[in-house]
Amino acid sequence: MSSNSIRILAGNSHPALAKLIAKRLGTDLANVTVSKYSNQETAVTIGESVRDEDVYIIQSGCGEINDHLMELLIMINACKTASARRITAVLPCFPYARQDKKDKSRAPISAKLVANMLTVAGADHVITMDLHASQIQGFFDRPVDNLYGEPSVLRYIKENVPDWKNAIIVSPDAGGAKRATSIADHLDLDFALIHKERKKANEVSRMVLVGDVKDKVAILVDDMADTCGTLGLAAKTLVDNGACAVYAIVIHGVLSGKALDVINNSVLTRVVVTNTIPHAEKKKICPKLDTIDVSAVLAEAIRRTHNGESVSYLFGHATI
């Protein structure tokens, strides 16, 4: 008789996070080999039985995103054809999440395409964290748990930001205002907003501050930092308006292109990112980087899903 135990599988995108999650669950990673043939086709070999098991495949949308997405799809399908009872795709950072709407003529909605591919491959359930747009959940006809990094951010601020009670929470754009006001309300702090005008994608031309940051510790919060051009300019704007220190706390630290140079040369005191995306090597180059570990939140979501318990507890409480 099957015990229907948890099986944790990991792709090549973020093995360190997968190991942390498995350790917190008191289990080992399943034996999986992901390789490439000489013609660059992805090959997956699952080295143990997953028949009638509860399978969780951890693969973040980072690095070589297209290869990692293909790895995930093949692993899901391999588990499906190996008669796994349930397959959950755990995507700490959802790939193509920024392509969630048709913002110009003939633009693809690639996040919807990714949702379709995961469903067709055989995913029964999806766990992710801080979707760029929460309506991406509606692209699926499968259950999606969109976990939040906010409780972990609140704990980090209280434990690691000196004089945090004299801080002000700042959103670097109008789109992140809801996230920033939620954090400000929980900490009983003031809120400010930066309005930015873009000439083209990833290039900000002008920033205008709405709010008073004079003699305060400014804490910028956002869901994603890619080239960090916005964060660098926002920090300069805040210091120019009298902020005594500027912290940036971001859930998904993509940190591509010249991001590390921008951070090192900016007035930012510290840039804090979660480990939904690996950045251990980048921390060696950029001493201003700090990490919030979210493996506990993901592990607890997996445990509760497996045991048939409510996951909504994680949306409002920090998991330690």
Give the tens place of pLDDT for each residue, 238-273. Answer: 999 999 999 999 999 999 999 999 999 999 999 999
Model confidence at 202, in pLDDT bands (50, 70, 90)?
low
Nearest one of 97, 238, 270 to 172, comparing CA atoms: 238
Q: What six digits make up the tokens of 218? A: 């400014």
pLDDT tens digits, one per residue of 20-50: 999 999 999 999 999 999 999 999 999 999 9
- Residue 319, pLDDT > 80, answer no
Nearest one of 162, 180, 183 to 171, comparing CA atoms: 180
pLDDT tens digits, one per residue of 126-159: 999 999 988 999 999 999 999 999 999 999 999 9
Residue 204 CB coordination number (10 Å): 18
Predicted pLDDT of residue 4: 78
Q: What six digits make up the tokens of 96? A: 């193509």
Q: What six digits make up the tokens of 48? A: 């143990």
**Check: CATH 3.40.50.2020 for 6-148+295-316?**
yes
Whole-number average pLDDT of the chain: 92
Predicted pLDDT of residue 3: 63
**Check: CATH 3.40.50.2020 for 150-292?**
yes
Predicted pLDDT of residue 173: 86
- Residue 318, pLDDT > 50, answer no
Model confidence at 230, in pLDDT bands (50, 70, 90)?
confident
Name, in order, each residue with C-beta under 8 angstroms of 105's C-beta and a sequence gap of 6 or more: none
Q: What six digits make up the tokens of 242? A: 């009298």
Q: What six digits make up the tokens of 204? A: 């900000």
Ranges of CATH 3.40.50.2020 domains, the chain? 6-148+295-316, 150-292
Q: How open is the CA angle 231-234-240, to the nearest 5 degrees?
A: 140
- Residue 179, pLDDT > 70, answer yes
- Residue 317, pLDDT > 60, answer no
